[in-house]
Amino acid sequence: MPSPEMEQTAASHTHRYRPPEDGERLRALLEGKALCPLAAVCQGDEVEARLAPCPSGEPLRFLSPDAEETIRALSEAIRFLPKVTWKTSHTEMLLNGLRDGRWHGMALEQQKTANLVSYLDYCLREELNEVEIGFCMTHPDHRGRGLVSRLLASLLLLHFHRDFRVSTHESNLPMSRALARFGFTVVEERPRDRINGETTLYLTRKAGTGFPLEA
């Protein structure tokens, strides 16, 4: 198995890897670092990704169940728009998924306080070669800085060989714009699916879809 190559430039570096073979080494490269994925494209059986240091400096963390209290603190600072079918709060839904191992969390951490400032979770559906993205959230004091986009980009790099699925609601325009930049397209709309009558949008992304995050 060839080792991933890294080509240095003044402001960024290009990282070449083969998913899924190099997944663990890519994860080790990203974990605990403040790196922003700027672009990714397939080059034959490899992926070429351009990464740059993130000026704000929040390291990426892959969360274990031990992080429940820090996840809860962030989640309870967020106002979600529930679906009409939800039987419990978004915080309990999120934590229950992490507890039973079906869902995995990743987050950006504020260096000085170790508090989580942005979070998403995801579920691997091996039989479908698919990743389902669940909750995505950023603390109100840290919005407008592209933190969820950074988490999305990191997750896409780690599972570039898989299809993706996610949902959002129609008034969440920042999320819809971010997903469009990553190549997600709307495949289904469910009217009156939220408690205020809003439509839920379901989006998918094909495996191997490149993205330019700088555009």
Q: What is the pLDDT of residues 119-176, one digit of tens each?
A: 999 999 999 999 999 999 999 999 999 999 999 999 999 999 999 999 999 999 999 9
Tell whether domain 57-208 is in CATH 3.40.190.10: no
CA atoms of 109 and 142, how far apart (whole Å): 11
Domain locations in the chain as residue ranges? 57-208
Question: Is 169 or 214 the better-scoring residue by pLDDT?
Answer: 169
SS3 state of residue 31: strand
Interior/surface letters 70-97, b for 16+ CB within 10 angstroms, e for the rest: bbeebbeeeebbbeeeeeeebbebbbeb
What's the pTM value of the predicted model, to 2 decimals? 0.93
- Over 80: is that where the pLDDT of 5 sits? no
Pairing of strands 13-17, 46-53: antiparallel
pLDDT in tens, 57-81: 999 999 998 999 999 999 999 999 9
Please give the distance of CA 97 from its chain centroid, rounded to a whole number: 16
CA atoms of 4 and 212, how far apart (whole Å): 21
